[in-house]
């Protein structure tokens, strides 16, 4: 049976690029969406040309019941998950003093709770398999205390996601499970200009995909609990 990958937030952007890459590598892919159903269906039609058993799955991943329901469907259909990519995470560029309580909650929950709940949903079965990869998508600066005027909640959440990556890797390594993090700088659809970056451009989706392929390969067997920045020397706030 083909290996199965779940990519959260894969109807658009980076998640979409990751899903297509995994299909090219022979995976059956679960394309997750929350609001972008039509986009997810379009992607599924393309994906099924190479991976006919791939599916789409709906869920608000900050809601424990919806996470549980989504993964019950995935396991009922496939019986396993080999790779989980926690890609969901909203971004807000707004002064902290003007950030509302609901906006703060959304940024924190979408970036941290979603990864926590989805990881919990797969880890017990990965233990039984004695294998599995969880890849958390972070952000440049996630390893350090990064204070920026207009993205405070986002970096707080990514700092916490880095901590989650570390502790899960430590606890799950004995079961053959790898938990790593990829932290890109601003991506193609984000707010910066090319001249803002030391290497003259933002990170591309393909830059992130190449690192993901490495981390989930046998060549990276002894890499666990790592955070790899895909940032070209970019430092937030400089």
Average pLDDT over residues 49-75: 97
pLDDT in tens, 148-158: 778 889 999 99
Average pLDDT over residues 115-133: 98
pLDDT in tens, 24-42: 999 999 999 998 888 999 9
Cα angle 67, 73, 76 (rounded to 5 degrees) comes to: 135
> Mean pLDDT over all residues of the chain?
93
Domains located in the chain, CATH noted: 4-230 (3.40.50.720)
Report yes or no on whether pTM surpasses 0.85: yes
Residues known to be catalytic: 154
CA distances (Å), 53 to each of 36, 44, 47, 124, 143, in order? 20, 10, 9, 24, 38
* Percentage of the chain lying above the pLDDT 70 cut: 97
Strands of the sheet containing 177-184, edge to edge, are: 55-58, 28-33, 4-7, 83-86, 132-137, 177-184, 227-230
């Amino acid at each position: 049976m083909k290996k199965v990958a779940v990519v959260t937030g894969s109807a658009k952007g980076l998640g979409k690029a990751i899903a297509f890459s995994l299909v090219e590598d022979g995976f059956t892919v679960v394309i997750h969406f929350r609001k972008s159903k039509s986009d997810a269906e379009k992607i599924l039609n393309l994906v099924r040309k190479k991976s006919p058993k791939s599916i789409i799955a709906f869920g608000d991943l900050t809601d424990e019941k919806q996470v549980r329901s989504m993964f019950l469907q995935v396991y009922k259909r496939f019986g396993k998950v080999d790779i989980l990519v926690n890609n969901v995470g909203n971004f807000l560029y707004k002064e902290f003093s003007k950030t509302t309580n609901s906006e703060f909650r959304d940024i924190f929950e979408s970036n941290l709770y979603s990864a926590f709940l989805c990881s919990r949903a797969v880890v017990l079965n990965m233990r039984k398999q004695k294998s599995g990869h969880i890849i958390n998508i972070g952000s440049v600066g996630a390893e350090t205390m990064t204070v920026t005027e207009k993205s405070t909640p986002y970096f707080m959440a990514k700092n916490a996601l880095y901590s989650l990556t570390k502790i899960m890797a430590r606890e799950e390594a004995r079961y053959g499970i790898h938990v790593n993090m990829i932290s890109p700088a601003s991506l193609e659809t984000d707010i910066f200009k090319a001249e803002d970056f030391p290497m003259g451009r933002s990170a591309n989706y393909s830059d992130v995909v190449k690192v993901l392929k490495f981390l989930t390969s046998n060549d990276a067997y002894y890499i666990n609990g790592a955070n790899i920045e895909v940032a070209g020397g970019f430092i937030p706030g400089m």
